[in-house]
Amino acid sequence: MLKKSLLLGVTSGVLSGIASVIFAGVYKETMFTDFSPVVSTMNLMGACIFGCVLASVGYFGIMKFMPKNGNVVFNLIFTFLTFASILSPIAYKFPPALDVPGIDEITMLFIPFAMTLHFFPALIWFTVKPIFFKA
């Protein structure tokens, strides 16, 4: 079960990383704002893979500890942590070097951009999980 769980984490991490990179490109083209100096492609991929593998290890642990209700408990914890993680982009402060006219508009575009990215790992993980673990 650990091997399947880790494979789920890596697979969903790579897929959510790809989705995040595509979203960042679409956001850049539609909003005319490039956040790649703040959040690089490698950072997006790494964060998605790390988050999904960590979730899969947590899923494995919870399912070993409480096999009957583990799915519900894990889903609640993962969803709660995903929502809690959006506090970081809301509280993000741009470097003082970027204290230029128009920074408020850039900040107003960054928050929804980053918040959306925080939901990709959970969304893809929950979508891919039935392929690895039958209900």
Q: Where are the chain's structural domains?
A: 2-132
Angle at 8 between CA 6 and CA 10, to 5 degrees: 70
Least reliable range by pLDDT among 32-36, 45-49, 59-63, 96-100: 96-100
Q: Which residue has the tokens 């595509």?
A: 22
pLDDT band, residue 8 (cuts 50/70/90): very high
CA atoms within 13 A of residue 109's CA, in its CB half-sphere = 16
- pLDDT tops 80 at residue 103: no
Average pLDDT of the chain, as a whole number: 89
pLDDT in tens, 51-98: 999 999 999 999 999 989 999 999 999 999 999 999 888 887 776 666
Instruction: Report the C-alpha gap between 3 and 14 in whole angstroms.
Output: 17
- pLDDT (0 to 100) of residue 129: 95
- pLDDT (0 to 100) of residue 100: 64
What is the arithmetic mean of pLDDT over 16-20? 96
- pLDDT (0 to 100) of residue 110: 84
Residue at 116: amino acid letter: T
- pLDDT tops 90 at residue 37: no
Residue at 97: amino acid letter: A
What is the greatest pairwise CA distance in the chain? 56
- pLDDT tops 90 at residue 6: yes
